[in-house]
Structure 1
Amino acid sequence: MTTTVLVAGATGDLGGRIVHELLQHDTRVRVLTRPSSDAAQRRFADDDRIDVVTAAYTDRPALVTALAGVDVVVSAVSGTRAVIVDAQRALLDAAVEAGVPRFIPSDYAADYRSITPGSNRNFELRREFAAALDAAPIRATSVLNGAFTDMLTGQAPMILFDRRRVLYWSSADQVLDFTTKDDVARVTALVALDADAPRVVEVAGDRVTARSIADTMSRLTGTPFRLQWAGTTGTLSAMARVGRRLSKDDAEPFPAWQGMQYFVSMFSGEAELHHVDDDRYGPHGWTSVRDVLAAHLGV
């Protein structure tokens, strides 16, 4: 039986990958787009297995119409409160009204459930929406995957390639969970097709430490990469708070201080995954941290 999946945020990086993975199965995909955007039409209109539907998140009747007959909503939207809480809540309410059985929120992160209040804005927004989702009469599954492995080659300044250093905070032996976007998209598609999926599915393409990353870089380059202590997570958290107070725009999804907060959550161990089940959907050749770094270095 063909499963109808509506994807919100399909024109984004992760959302597009999720659509691609869904099309590897017996699915009918609906892509939700705003009335003011033609990006989805330009990208997906030529695929006869994809229906592009238009609705503003503020237009409840249009959202309900777009969701009619859908089996599962997959949200891959990205942003701050206006998106993660407000837009997703509008999507959730419309899904409930339309009788959609299942909802996958835009989590795709480390375990935000136990972080210290005030320590990570983006995680707390996800926790806030999760509370609304748990209170709704709909079956929900969150995909938790640690950090995106792809970030190690640029967006996350942990590996100082030119200086041959690997930064760490507090402990160089803290376990860090990483999964590539492609692997996250694959799991998300399988979760969408799994009517018995639990409330949370945890996966980690690789589990490493700063120490093991330094060793990997040394082996890949033939040049020693050394560990560099950058302070404690407490000091980094204080720096992030100062950065946030000085920031002119709290609506930016990934300012520098938010990056600091992510490292606090990871190196403190608060966001570490504790129930990883990589074999839930069968054996798979996960892309490791070494694979990503080797590709980046061209070795």
Structure 2
Amino acid sequence: MVTTVGIAGASGKLGRLVAAALLRLPSPPTLRLYVRDASKLPSWLSSSPHTVITGGADDRAATVEFARGCNVVICTYLGPDALMEEGQKVLIDACAEAGVPRYVASDYTVDYRPLKDGELFPKDPMRHVMAYCNDKAGVEGVHVMIGAFMDTWWSGFFGAWVPDESGKGGKLRYWGSGDEAWEVSSYENTAEWIARVAVDGEAKGVEKFLGDRKNIHQIAAAMSSVYSFTPSLEPLGSLADLHATMHQKRDSEPENYYAYLPMWYQYYMLNGSTLLVPPGSSAEKELSNNRYPDVKAVTFEDYLRMYSPKELSGAMMGIGEKAGK
């Protein structure tokens, strides 16, 4: 029985949401929280009965203290490669030393397993962490994959949604034919699934969940059904054009990371190589959604109903702020 859950990175957006989701469960576990700065925790997390341990991602002694007594440790780190790979390896080692049998890795992304190192390069650390978990005796890795974050999709990161100046309309920009599927899940949904996986001792290996799956034409139709306007569509070029552009951007401005990073994500998502539900397969076969029927998948329509067109692009800035309230 899972009675104590550790959350590393608990003061961040996803960490707060995961903590709140765990505390909403019918039999909420005791939480052990690992953070760099305890002052960044909201009062509902920083007070008893929860235990807060402070330390850096490379602090081996502090991570072992944090892991001790946990039935499972969840990592919600988000940051540079060194944090995502070496920081997680420190946590996995701490779990092994403290006798924690399961580790929920900070994946929460597309299915990167079919790729080779260097292709979708931001996910190379996740590939290495999965391999590290597989080789670590006594610690079972759990890898939750959810596609892209819905909240990020509507932000300026991908450049897919461009609101107009009135705040009452806008356009959708896309690479490819427009028939390629976007697989997305909201931060809130992801946290709910992570919480269920954490307390489910049978959840091991790769667990795939999905909020919605639509192409750009279907997303435009969803906007039409929820709002009083239909967004215009702006094609940006073929997937081959996207591939050429993203490499040209990186070659010409290697330090300008965010000028090309979103293109890399788009290319490897839209070309089908990282889909959670590959062509010819069924969602029922590939996804774990039905394992936790109390969690309602948030569709594009559901998400649109939560925000006005003007609010969409900035919605992710407030993620986690109202958690626990």
Distance 1:267 1:212 in 2: 15
**1:197 maps onto 2:203 in alignment:** yes
| Equivalent position of 1:149 in the other structure | 150
Kindly provide the CA deviation profile for residues 121-166 of structure 1, in whole angstroms up to 9, marking residues without a partner as x. 2222211221111211211111111111112332332123327432
Partner of 2:72: 72
Task: Give a deviation string over 1:95-124, Cα, whole Å, max 9, x none.
Answer: 111111000000011111123543322222
CA contact (8 A) 1:153 1:296 kept: no
1:292 aligns with 2:299: no
What secondary structure is seen at the aligned counterpart in 2 of 1:7? strand
C-alpha distance 170-256 of structure 1, shift in aligned 2 (>3 A) = same
Shift of 1:228: 2.6
Task: Give the SS at the match of 1:217.
Answer: helix
CA offsets per residue over residues 199-244 of structure 1, 9 Å max, x none? 1111111111111011122333333333332112233233223333
The partner residue of 2:255 within 223, 226, 248 is 248
Equivalent residue, structure 2, for 1:5: 5
Q: Does 2:257 correspond to 1:257?
A: no
> Shift of residue 50 of structure 1?
1.4
The answer as to whether partners of 1:44 and 1:52 remain within 8 angstroms in 2 is: no
| Secondary structure at 2:113 match in 1 | helix
d(CA) in 2 for partners of 1:174 and 1:47?
47
Task: Give aligned pairs, total.
Answer: 293
What is the alpha-carbon distance in structure 2 between the residues aligned to residue 118 and residue 260 of structure 1? 14
Partner of 2:23: 23
Measure, in 1, the Cα distance between the counterparts of 2:202 and 2:2: 16
Task: Give the distance between the partners of 1:143 and 1:2, measured in 2 at CA.
Answer: 18
Partner of 1:114: 114
Deviation at residue 33 of structure 1 after TM alignment: 1.7
Gaps in structure 2 of 5+ consecutive residues = 278-285, 311-325
SS in 2 for 1:66: helix
Q: TM-score, normalised by structure 1?
A: 0.90
**Cα pair 2:175 2:237 within 8 Å, conserved:** yes
Give the equivalent residue in structure 2 for 1:212.
218
Contact 1:171 1:267 survives alignment (8 Å): no
* TM-score under structure 2 length normalisation: 0.83
Task: Name the counterpart of 1:32.
Answer: 34
For residues 220-269 of structure 1, the C-alpha deviation after alignment (integer angstroms, 9 at most, x for no partner) is 3333333332112233233223333413276xxxx231111111122111
Could you tell me how far 1:40 is from its partner in structure 2?
4.5
Which residues of 2 match residues 81-100 of structure 1 at below 5 A?
A: 81-100=81-100
Instruction: Indicate the larger mover: 173-182 or 158-167.
Output: 158-167
- Indicate the residue corresponding to 2:192 in structure 1: 186
Q: Is the 8 A contact 1:3 1:27 kept in 2?
A: yes
Cα gap change, 1:293/1:106 in structure 2, threshold over 3 Å: closer, same or farther?
same
Find the aligned partners of 1:263 and 1:8 in 2 and give their Cα distance: 29
Aligned 1:155-174 pairs, distance under 5 A = 155=156, 156-162=158-164, 164-174=170-180
Measured in 1, the distance between the counterparts of 2:4 and 2:114 equals 33
Q: Distance in 2 between matches of 1:168 and 1:298?
A: 18
Contact 2:147 2:183 in 1 (8 A): yes
Distance (Å, rounded) in 2 between the aligned partners of 1:77 and 1:178: 20
Which SS does the other structure have where 2:268 is aligned? helix
CA distance in 2, matches of 1:144, 1:73: 17
- In structure 2, the partner of 1:226 is 232
Shift in alpha-carbon separation, 1:267–1:53, aligned structure 2, 3 A: same
Partner Cα separation in structure 1 for residue 15 and residue 240 of structure 2: 34
Q: Would you say the 8 A contact 2:269–2:275 is kept in 1? A: yes
Alignment of 1:272-287 (within 5 A): 272-274=275-277, 275-287=286-298
User: Any unmatched runs of 5+ in structure 1?
Assistant: none
Residues 170 and 62 of structure 1: CA distance in aligned 2, closer, same or farther (over 3 Å): same
- Percent of residue pairs bearing the same amino acid type: 28
1:74 touches 1:104 (CA, 8 Å); kept in 2? yes
